Chains A and B, each alone.
Chain A
Amino acid sequence: MEFRQAKTGKLMIEILPNKCDFCGCCVGVCPEDAIELKEAEISIIDERCTNCSKCIWSCPIEVIVFNKTGVLFQR
Chain B
Amino acid sequence: MKKEYDIIVVGAGPAGSMAARYAADKGVSVLMLEKDRDVGYPVRCGEAISKAGVEEFINIDQKWIAATISKFGFVAPDGSEVFIDFGEAGYVLERRIFDYALAESAAKAGAEILTRAYVNGLIIENDIVKGVKYEFRGEQLEVRAKIVIAADGVESRVGRWAGLKTHIDFRDMEAAAQITAANIPIDQNTLYFYFGKDVAPNGYFWVFPKGNNKANIGLGVSGITGKKKSALSYLNEFMEKHYPDAPILTSIAGGVPCSITLDKISAPGIMLVGDAARQVNPLSGGGIASGMIGGSIAGTIAGDAIKQNNLSHILTYDKAWADRLGKRHEIFNRIKNGIYNFSDEKFNAIAHSFLKVPEEKRGLGNLFVTALMNQPSLLVDVAKVFFVK
A16 within 8 A of B: no
Q: Mark A12-27, 1 if CB is under 8 A from B, else 0.
A: 0000000001011111
Q: Across the two chains, which residue of chain B brings its CB closest to A25?
A: B255
Contacting pair B155 A37 (CB below 8 A) = yes
B53 within 8 A of A: no
CA of A72 to CA of B211, assembled, Å: 48
CA of A28 to CA of B231, assembled, Å: 17
Candidates A21, A25, A39, A59; contact of B154 at CB < 8 Å: A25
Q: Across the two chains, which residue of chain B brings its CB closest to A37?
A: B155
B227 within 8 A of A: yes
A9 within 8 A of B: no
Candidates A21, A31, A39; contact of B252 at CB < 8 Å: A21
Contacting pair B167 A23 (CB below 8 A) = no
Given contacts A21-B252, A28-B255, A29-B170, contact A60 B176 (CB under 8 A): yes
Q: Mark B372-389, 1 if CB is under 8 A from A, else 0.
A: 000000000000000000
Q: Mark B156-187, 1 if CB is under 8 A from A, else 0.
A: 11001000000111100101110000000000
User: Number of B residues contacting the other chain (C-beta, 8 Å)?
Assistant: 37
Chain A residues with Cβ under 8 A from B37's Cβ?
A: 39
CA of A25 to CA of B178, assembled, Å: 14
Given contacts A23-B255, A39-B35, A54-B170, contact A60 B175 (CB under 8 A): yes
Q: How far, in Å, is B248 (CB) from chain A's closest CB?
A: 14
Chain A residues with Cβ under 8 A from B255's Cβ?
A: 23-26, 28-29, 58, 60
CA of A23 to CA of B176, assembled, Å: 9
Instruction: Tell me the total A-B contact number using a CB cutoff of 8 A.
Output: 91
CA of A62 to CA of B236, assembled, Å: 13
CA of A21 to CA of B224, assembled, Å: 21
Chain B residues with Cβ under 8 A from A60's Cβ?
A: 175-177, 220-221, 226, 230-232, 253-255
Candidates A24, A26, A30, A57; contact of B153 at CB < 8 Å: A24
Give A36-75 interface residues, CB cut-off 8 Å to B: 36-39, 54, 57-62
Candidates A36, A39, A54; contact of B36 at CB < 8 Å: A39
Q: How far, in Å, is A23 (CB) from chain B's closest CB?
A: 4
Candidates A23, A38, A54; contact of B223 at CB < 8 Å: A54
Contacting pair A27 B154 (CB below 8 A) = yes
Contacting pair A33 B153 (CB below 8 A) = no
Given contacts A29-B167, A54-B223, A58-B255, contact A38 B35 (CB under 8 A): yes
Q: Across the two chains, which residue of chain B brings its CB closest to A36?
A: B120
Chain A residues with Cβ under 8 A from B253's Cβ?
A: 21, 23, 25, 59-61
Q: How far, in Å, is A65 (CB) from chain B's closest CB?
A: 12
CA of A58 to CA of B169, assembled, Å: 10
Chain B residues with Cβ under 8 A from A57's Cβ?
A: 170, 175, 223-224, 226-227
Candidates A24, A39, A58, A61; contact of B170 at CB < 8 Å: A58
CA of A19 to CA of B44, assembled, Å: 17
Candidates B118, B157, B226; contact of A58 at CB < 8 Å: B226
Candidates A29, A33, A62; contact of B230 at CB < 8 Å: A62
Contacting pair A28 B156 (CB below 8 A) = yes
Contacting pair A28 B168 (CB below 8 A) = yes
Chain A residues with Cβ under 8 A from B176's Cβ?
A: 25, 60
Given contacts A31-B167, A39-B36, contact A23 B230 (CB under 8 A): no
CA of A21 to CA of B36, assembled, Å: 13
Chain A residues with Cβ under 8 A from B156's Cβ?
A: 28
Which of A28, A38, A54, A59 has the most B CB atoms < 10 Å from its CB?
A28
Given contacts A31-B167, A60-B177, A62-B232, contact A39 B118 (CB under 8 A): yes
Q: Across the two chains, which residue of chain B brings its CB closest to A30?
A: B167
Q: List 11 A-B contacts (CB under 8 A).
A: A23-B44, A25-B176, A28-B156, A33-B157, A33-B160, A58-B223, A60-B177, A60-B220, A60-B231, A60-B255, A62-B230
Query: Contacts A23-B154, A60-B177 given; 6 further ones with Cβ under 8 A?
Result: A21-B252, A28-B173, A36-B120, A39-B36, A59-B230, A62-B230
Give chain B's interface residues, CB within 8 Å of chain A. 35-37, 44, 116, 118, 120, 135, 153-157, 160, 167-170, 173, 175-177, 220-221, 223-224, 226-227, 230-233, 252-255, 257
